[in-house]
Structure 1
Amino acid sequence: MTTFLPKDVQAGLDAARRATGRRRNRLAVETDGHRHPVLRMWEDGFAVDIAMVPKLRGLVDLYDGAVHLKRCLIVAASEEAGEMQYDFKRMTEVSTEQPLDFERRDDAPVALLARDSGI
């Protein structure tokens, strides 16, 4: 059995795989105010469609739909099968709370109750 496929058949299979990935995947990478769909993601990187997404570099934001997941510093890794693959140099989780510059005690009050002023 041979594993050789004609170029037009291989190109059609690659295009179908990318189209299926775009429909299923909600992941997107945002840079300079523009969002681009992510075809697939792994532990230390992600891939985008090279025909749809310009060359990315530097600091990007990773989203799952409308949820901001991570802020990442990326570097281009490789290009294969119509995908541009990027590796994470640094990845920071996004927090919904403001960072504290002091230690919060476990027994600290959570609210301030005003005295009854009779009003």
Structure 2
Amino acid sequence: MLEHLPAEVREGLERARKRSSARSRRLALHLGDAVFPIRRLWDDGFAVDADRISHLRGFVEIHEGARMMLTCLIQAVEVQDGELICTFKRATPALDRAALDYEIEVEQPAGLLPRQ
């Protein structure tokens, strides 16, 4: 259906689609000091704009706004419809607390009342 539209209209629609998807989610890929907006994210991968980066591999971080969501080891698979498709070799959720070096017992009391 889009092939019947003039080229300028198709390009304008594509630019508008990119802008709206970038505004709807603030997901970004952090590779050192470089930051790339993420177009789509799914369980085992994500897609970034192929015009901004053509090859991607290694250890990266995925942020939503200022909050880090995932630390990932990734590999770029292919370029498809202007998107660089990347898959996760490993994706670890970022924690907001330090890792524990001991096991927490399951049946702990929620709190102790003082004796009177």
- The TM-score normalised by the length of structure 2 is 0.76
Offset of 1:30 from its aligned partner?
0.2
CA RMSD of aligned residues (A): 2.4
Q: Which portions of structure 1, spanning 4 or more consecutive aligned residues, are displaced by more than 6 angstroms?
A: none
Percent sequence identity over aligned pairs: 35
SS at match of 2:3: coil
In structure 1, the gaps of 5 or more residues are 111-119
SS at match of 1:17: helix
d(CA) in 2 for partners of 1:99, 1:80: 39
d(CA) in 1 for partners of 2:76, 2:92: 18
Q: How does 1:25-40 map to 2 (within 5 A)?
A: 25-40=25-40
Shift in alpha-carbon separation, 1:95–1:10, aligned structure 2, 3 A: same
d(CA) in 1 for partners of 2:2, 2:27: 33
Q: How many residues align?
A: 107
In structure 2, the gaps of 5 or more residues are 112-116
d(CA) in 1 for partners of 2:19, 2:59: 26
Offset of 1:40 from its aligned partner?
1.1
Per-residue Cα deviation, 1:62-99 (whole angstroms, up to 9, x for no partner): 00101110101111122111111111111001112222
Match of 1:114 in 2: none
- The TM-score normalised by the length of structure 1 is 0.75
